A and B are shown apart, each in its own frame.
Chain A
Amino acid sequence: EPEVTQTPSHQVTQMGQEVILRCVPISNHLYFYWYRQILGQKVEFLVSFYNNEISEKSEIFDDQFSVERPDGSNFTLKIRSTKLEDSAMYFCASTEEGFSTEAFFGQGTRLTVV
């Protein structure tokens, strides 16, 4: 069964460092998303992406965040200068036909900023 894959599964970084989280969405999906989940809390939307541009972003997705689809398969989230409060699980998701269809999530990347 097709699935969304994310790497790495766990990333530890020092405060102020840049991190890149990688995702390979399901191959025929066209809409991509990043969400995050702080430990013990609910899943929060960060950004949606379609046709090589950001469709919508939340107030969490400030100037330190960026997304890119560098090739036909990868979708990346970059955090330019990490802060302690960026520590969370980051989930990539994708949908096939549009924002209203079923979103499939990856296993997540646990980011720990120290």
Chain B
Amino acid sequence: GQQLNQSPQSMFIQEGEDVSMNCTSSSIFNTWLWYKQDPGEGPVLLIALYKAGELTSNGRLTAQFGITRKDSFLNISASIPSDVGIYFCAGLIQGAQKLVFGQGTRLTINP
């Protein structure tokens, strides 16, 4: 099946630092979505990307749809305590009717 490789698996940073995580695949995607999940909650959509090369921001979050359509990254600038959680990338392969999720990046922030 299609696989998304998300890295890093976990990050331990100081409050105020910038964060970067990415997802790669051998498959071509026509949609990339980035979600945040808090413990015991459902994934909450952060950013949606639909075109190769697209760069989209949502407050302190910035995400890009890779030119090759096989990767995407998410950056968080000036991290704050409420950024703690698990971040998932999810992609939709052309012609498919399901999202494929990455393994998640667990973000921990030291105050």
B contacts with A: majority SS: strand
The verdict on A100 contacting B42 (CB below 8 Å), with A42-B104, A45-B98, A56-B98 known, is no
Per-residue contact bits, chain A 8-52, to B (CB 8 Å; 1 contact, 0 not): 000000000000000000000000010100000111110010100
A91 in contact with B43 (CB, 8 Å)? yes
Minimum distance in angstroms from A21 CB to a CB of chain B: 13
Interface size for B (C-beta < 8 A) is 24
- Among the stretches A66-74, A75-83, A106-114, the one at the interface with B is A106-114
A42 in contact with B42 (CB, 8 Å)? no
Q: Which residues of B contact A100 (CB under 8 A)?
A: 30-31, 50, 92
Minimum distance in angstroms from B20 CB to a CB of chain A: 20
**Assembly CA distance A17 to B56 (angstroms):** 46
Interface residues on A, range: 20 to 34
Partner of B45, one of A48, A50, A55, A104: A104
A105 in contact with B43 (CB, 8 Å)? yes
B98 in contact with A99 (CB, 8 Å)? yes
Partner of B33, one of A33, A103, A110: A103
Binding site for A on B (CB under 8 A): 30-31, 33, 35, 40-45, 48, 50, 88, 90, 92, 96-104
